Amino acid sequence: MQWERWRIPIMLGPTLAVIIFLFIGGLLYGLLQSLGWNPRIGNFELSLDAYISIMASERYASQFWSGLLLTIWVSFASTFFSAIIAIFGALMIRKTRYGKRFSTFLFQLNLPIPHVVAAIGILFLFSQSGLLSRIGAETGIIGSPSEFPVLVRDRFGAGIILAYIWKEVPFIGIIVLAILQSLGEDYEDIAATLGANRWQRFRYVVLPLIMPGLLSASIIVFTFTFGSYEVPAILGVRSTRMLPVMSLDFFRNPDLNARAEGMAMSMVIAAIALIMVLIYMWISRRSVRGE
């Protein structure tokens, strides 16, 4: 009996040790560095100077707040549009009578493609020197490639949002599709017999049923895009940079004193991600209790 009580903790011990050492240890190390602790250059005192510097100093405050707003905007827009497209894509696949397996395969085809590849693809397609601008110039739709709309490396992050939408729609869509298939169509049929039209069946029956899974997937997507580096580094502008790009720039600065500011930005990103994870856990628990 004593062994049965400790069997699961002992079996999980090595995995938990790795998680605690790499994740929690790295997080604590980053927190200490954001507070100014850096033995390499003889700094052992802890203070909030780095946080004050990035949030309130004349040198960095405008960059930080504009970068934070851009990061929130890109993450929210990417998640919102991905969720809408995913919902209607999943509904269309569920209603498909022939070729459903092939449609599902196409729907999730780009799931294993890395985000770097997606960013480079958006760059080659939608930049003013890309494929679409050259096709438009050759066919006479536009006079020259420079007249193509600025969708890549623009100050609103349109190219970054396009890359994330292309990548995250299948992720959210597969989750929504799995929920729809597990529910069946009985609830909608009952609503239809009561006189509900198509929009009413979606609004009052389908959407409430898929909402817990949809919100959970959306929070995961928002958290990932909020802390992702590679896509904004490739498709973003230099004037207004997203927080992950700014943080790494500080970290790679030859002046080791600038590392505290970079770690402070990383801690801000981690704090917002933690808040989103707590929201995800709360939604999951409510969903389980509801079921």
* 135-152 pLDDT, tens digit each: 888 888 888 888 888 888
Give the up-direction half-sphere exposure of residue 173: CA atoms within 13 A in the CB hemisphere.
27
**Angle at CA of residue 228, ends 57 and 55, nearest 5°:** 10
Contact 263, 33 (CB under 8 A): yes
pLDDT, mean of residues 230-256: 86
Q: Find the largest Cα–Cα distance for the chain.
A: 80
Domain architecture of the chain: domains with CATH: 61-116+157-290 (1.10.3720.10)
Q: What is the pLDDT confidence band of residue 40, given thresholds at 50, 70 and 90?
A: confident
Task: Note the pLDDT of residue 66.
Answer: 92
Comparing 286 with 123, the larger pLDDT belongs to 123
Phi and psi at residue 45, to the nearest 5°: -85, 140
pLDDT, mean of residues 63-70: 91
Task: Note the pLDDT of residue 290.
Answer: 59
Q: What is the pLDDT confidence band of residue 288, given thresholds at 50, 70 and 90?
A: low
DSSP structure string for 180-245: HHHH-SHHHHHHHHTT--HHHHIIIIIHHHHHHHHHHHHHHHHHHHHH--HHHHHHS-SSS--HHH
* Per-residue model confidence as pLDDT tens digits over 162-203: 999 999 999 999 999 888 888 777 778 788 888 888 888 888
Q: What is the mean pLDDT of the chain?
A: 85
DSSP SS3 for 161? helix
Share of the chain above pLDDT 70, in %: 97
Distances (CA, A) of 260 to 15, 38, 126, 218, 277: 30, 8, 37, 31, 25
Q: Which of 41-50, 100-109, 122-131, 213-222 has the lowest mean pLDDT?
A: 100-109
Q: Which of 36-45, 93-102, 114-123 has the lowest mean pLDDT?
A: 93-102
Phi and psi at residue 109, to the nearest 5°: -65, -35
pLDDT, mean of residues 16-28: 83
Task: Note the pLDDT of residue 10.
Answer: 77
Cβ contacts of 70 within 8 Å, gap of 6 or more: 157, 240, 241, 242
Task: Note the pLDDT of residue 87.
Answer: 92
Whether the per-residue pLDDT at 206 is higher than 80: the answer is yes
Task: Note the pLDDT of residue 238.
Answer: 76
